[in-house]
Amino acid sequence: MKRSFALPVVVVGLLMAGCSPAYEAITHLDSSNNNKFIDCRDGNDLKVSGDNNNLKVKGHCGTVRIEGSNSNVLLSDAERVLVEGSNNNVVASGTAEMKDTGHNNHLATH
C-alpha cells in the first residue's frame, strides 16, 4: 500500500490558515500541545515554554523567547527572537535579530 506523507503538512496548513481565527493577547504560554493564534500588542514580549505547539503570532512583538521544544512558530513582526529550546521551527518576518542557543532548531525569515 502506498502511503502519502503530504497529509500532515496539509492538515497543519489548514489548521494554521483557519477562517477568522480568534487571536489571544498573551505574554507567556506555559502549556503544551496547543494550536494558538497570538496577538502581540504594542511591542509586548512573548515567552513560550511549552512543547509541541503550533503558533501563529501577529502584531509587533518585543522579544520572543522560545524555551520549549518541538514547536512551530510563525511570527509577523518581532524586535528579537531568542530560541533556547530544541527541534523548533521558527519563521519570522520583520525581525531585527534572531539568535539560536538551543539544539537542532530551524530559523528562517521571509
Which of 18, 17, 14, 54 has its CA nearest to residue 33? 54
Residue spans per domain, the chain: 20-109
Q: What is the pLDDT of residues 1-55, one digit of tens each?
A: 333 334 334 334 544 555 567 888 889 999 999 999 999 988 999 999 999 999 9
- Cα 81–108–95 angle (5° rounding)? 40
